[in-house]
Structure 1
C-alpha cells in the first residue's frame, strides 16, 4: 500500500510521510527510457547510453520491500475536549504503509528512512525472491530521516557497499531501486541533476537531486552509481501530482553512512548542540566583507549561554575554521561529541572576542 503524500500543496512528499516543507510545490521521495552498466547501447543520434542490465541484476537482490503496520488512537475533531472524547480513547485504528530499503550487512542489517517505519508496531521485510521476515528496529534518526532494521536470516543475505556521494558529479548516471506504489523490484535510471539541494526538510539539508523516476514507496531505497555502490537514499520528490515529475531527492551517502553506523552501534545518534538560533550574515557588497553567522537568540541556561555567547554576536570561526554560513556552523557542532569544548571567534560591538563553550547534547526533535 503506497505511503501517504505530503499535505504541503500535495507536492512535497517525503516518501511516504516525513516532515513536509519547502516551497509550495515539493512532494517528499526520465521520460527517455535508458537501456541499461556493463554493455553499451547506441542512441539514434550516435551518442552512447549505458546499459543498466548487469548492474540491476547485481544489486537488486540486496534491495528489499518494507511493509509496516501501525496502531493509533484517533479522536474525531468534533469530540476533542468534550466528555465524549473518552469513548474514543480505547479505540485503536490500524494503518499500513510500504517503503524500500537495502541490505548493508549479510547478517541482516538494513537501511531505510525513518518516516517509512515511523511508529510502526510491526515491520516486515520482503526479499526479491519472495522471502518475508519480521524486522526489528535497531535505531532511528528523525533529523536525517534514517532508520536501521535487523532481520534474522537463515543464511547470509546479498549486501551492497557504500560509495562516495562526494565523488559524484552533476551529469553522472545513477540507478534508483525500490518498491514504488508497491511494485517491488523496480529500477529506474537517470543522472545527478544537482548537488547540495536545500528543500526545507531540516538543518542537515544537503540532498542529491536526480531525474531518475522516484515515486511513493521508493522511500528508503538506494541510489546507485555505475559501480553498484550506494551513493544516496531516496527520500523526497518534487511533484504537483504526487507522482514522479523528474525531480527526486536522495540523502547523500557521505552524510548517511556515519549516522547509520551510530544507529547500528548505539541505537541512537548523539549530536553536539550550542543552544542558539543563528542566521547567515551576508554583507551588502560581497567585496566589502566576509560572510559570517549572526546569533539571533541564545537558549537560557544552554551551553552557549553558560559559555558567555550573546544574541547579536557574530561568529567568524569555530576552532580556527571560518564559518561562512549557519549550515556550516550547525553541522560542525553537531558532529562534535557532547561534552567536548569548542572555541568560537566572535565579533561583539566592534571588537574581537574568543569564547570556549562546552558542547551539550542536542535535544530530540526536528528543530
Structure 2
C-alpha cells in the first residue's frame, strides 16, 4: 500500500493490499426543526415537474451474474530465495483479515514473501487480465483466483507506471469468461456505476454508486484524468473494474481518499478511453513508448498557452530552437491551454515523428517544427 498526500489532511491511498486498515466512525447530526415564525412563500418556487431521470434499477443482481465470473482476485509474492535480508513480517493491514491465513500458509509451504493483493478483470477468452501496475509491481509470483476459487499462475505481459496500468495473463485449459470495454466518453456525472473487486481480502464483492465527477487530477502523474465515484471501494479493490449498467468496463479502480484506510465515498477510477489503448499497446510491445519534448513548463499565462521555464540541453526542444520564455500555444492544430494538455499531446505522438509547435516569443508568433523524442522512463516533465 502506498500513501500519497493528495488532498489537504487526507492521504491518497493506492488500493492494493497491504495498506492501512481500520474503520471510520460515523456521527449523526441532531434533528433540526425549522423556526415556526418563518413560513415559506409558495410563490418563490417553480411548479413541481416530473423527474427528468428514471429511478435506478431495483436490483443489480442480473448485472452481477453477467460480469462476476470475469472479475478476478490477484495475490503477488516474491520468492524468498531471490531476496536478501530477514523475512518481512506480515503488514498490519493483513492481520485479522481473511488474507492472514493464506499469506502464512503460502509462506510456510512455498517459501514465499507475500507482498499484497488486488483485483483485476479478464478482457478476452485467452486469459488476458487488466489490473493496476502497483498491484503486480515487484512480484516474482502472481496468482490469479477466479470467482469459483480456481487458481492459476500468471505472468506479467507489461506495465505502465505513469497510468498505473498492467496486463497479466493466465493459461487456462478452456476459454475464459470476459467483459468488454465501454466508452467512458459517454459516461455522465450522476450515472450509475458498479465497482467490483476483492476489498480487504474478503473475496469477490460488488458495490454501487454514481459518478461524482470527471477529470480529477489527484497528483499521481501528468496523465491523471480520473472519474470520481462514490461506490465504496477499499484496499484490495485496486485494478478492479467499474461497470456501466450494460456490463461494460468504463473505469479501472485505482485510488481512494481516506483518513482511515477505508472507504469514505471518494474513490477514483481511470476511464476506459485512457486505459483501453494503453492495454492494447502493452499487449503488443510490453511497454509504452511515449513522445517527449524535453521542456519544463509552467501554467499561469491564462488560457492561451504554457510557458517554457527550462529546456533539456540534449532534448528535442533544444534542437528545435525553442527558448526559455517561449509560450507554446498549439501543437499542430491542437490549442494548448495547460501544461497537462501539452504533456499529454506530445506523449501521444510517436517518437521520431514531427510536430509543428506554434509559439509566442516577445509578441511574435512563430511556427517551429520539432522531432519528437523518446520519453525517458524516469522523467516526469515533457
Both proteins in one fold, TM over 0.5: yes
Could you tell me how far apart the structure 1 residues matched to 2:152 and 2:341 are?
41
Does structure 1 retain, via aligned residues, the 8 Å contact 2:159–2:165? yes
The one of 113, 121, 141 aligned to 1:94: 113
State the superposition RMSD in angstroms. Answer: 2.2
Residue 11 of structure 1 aligns to a residue whose secondary structure is strand
Could you tell me how far apart the structure 2 residues matched to 1:199 and 1:362 are?
22
CA gap of 1:74–1:306, structure 2 versus 1, over 3 A, is: farther
Q: CA deviation at 1:301?
A: 1.0
Is 1:55 matched up with 2:63?
Answer: yes
Could you tell me how far apart the structure 1 residues matched to 2:4 and 2:289 are?
30
Q: Mapping of 1:251-330 within 5 angstroms?
A: 251-283=270-302, 290-330=303-343
Could you tell me how far apart the structure 1 residues matched to 2:85 and 2:301 are?
47
CA gap of 1:342–1:74, structure 2 versus 1, over 3 A, is: farther
What are the Cα deviations for residues 15-38 of structure 1, in whole angstroms up to 9, with x where unaligned? 1289x9xxxxxxxxxx9xxxxxxx
CA gap of 1:57–1:296, structure 2 versus 1, over 3 A, is: same
Does structure 2 retain, via aligned residues, the 8 Å contact 1:181–1:217? yes
Does structure 1 retain, via aligned residues, the 8 Å contact 2:298–2:309? yes
Corresponding position of 1:42: none
Does structure 2 retain, via aligned residues, the 8 Å contact 1:143–1:365? no
Unaligned runs of 5+ in 1: 21-30, 32-46, 76-91, 284-289
Does structure 1 retain, via aligned residues, the 8 Å contact 2:17–2:235? no
Corresponding position of 1:151: 170
Could you tell me how far apart the structure 1 residues matched to 2:2 and 2:11 are?
8
The one of 51, 70, 84 aligned to 2:78: 70
What are the Cα deviations for residues 172-203 of structure 1, in whole angstroms up to 9, with x where unaligned? 00000000001221000000000000000100
Give the number of equivalent residue pairs: 317
Does structure 1 retain, via aligned residues, the 8 Å contact 2:254–2:268? yes
Residue 97 of structure 1 aligns to a residue whose secondary structure is strand
Could you tell me how far apart the structure 2 residues matched to 1:180 and 1:366 are?
33
Unaligned runs of 5+ in 2: 20-25, 27-53, 87-110
Could you tell me how far apart the structure 2 residues matched to 1:227 and 1:365 are?
39
Q: Mapping of 1:106-255 within 5 angstroms?
A: 106-255=125-274
CA gap of 1:183–1:93, structure 2 versus 1, over 3 A, is: closer
Could you tell me how far apart the structure 2 residues matched to 1:268 and 1:227 are?
31
Could you tell me how far apart the structure 2 residues matched to 1:351 and 1:93 are?
63
Could you tell me how far apart the structure 2 residues matched to 1:15 and 1:55 are?
24
Could you tell me how far apart the structure 2 residues matched to 1:356 and 1:190 are?
47
What are the Cα deviations for residues 44-75 of structure 1, in whole angstroms up to 9, with x where unaligned? xxx83312110011101000000000365469
Does structure 2 retain, via aligned residues, the 8 Å contact 1:6–1:17? no
The one of 320, 343, 353 aligned to 2:356: 343
CA gap of 1:305–1:16, structure 2 versus 1, over 3 A, is: same
TM-score by length of 2: 0.79
What are the Cα deviations for residues 142-180 of structure 1, in whole angstroms up to 9, with x where unaligned? 000000001101100000000011100000000000000
Is 1:365 matched up with 2:378?
Answer: yes
CA gap of 1:115–1:344, structure 2 versus 1, over 3 A, is: same
Corresponding position of 2:30: none
What are the Cα deviations for residues 295-347 of structure 1, in whole angstroms up to 9, with x where unaligned? 11111110111111111100011102211111111111111110000100111
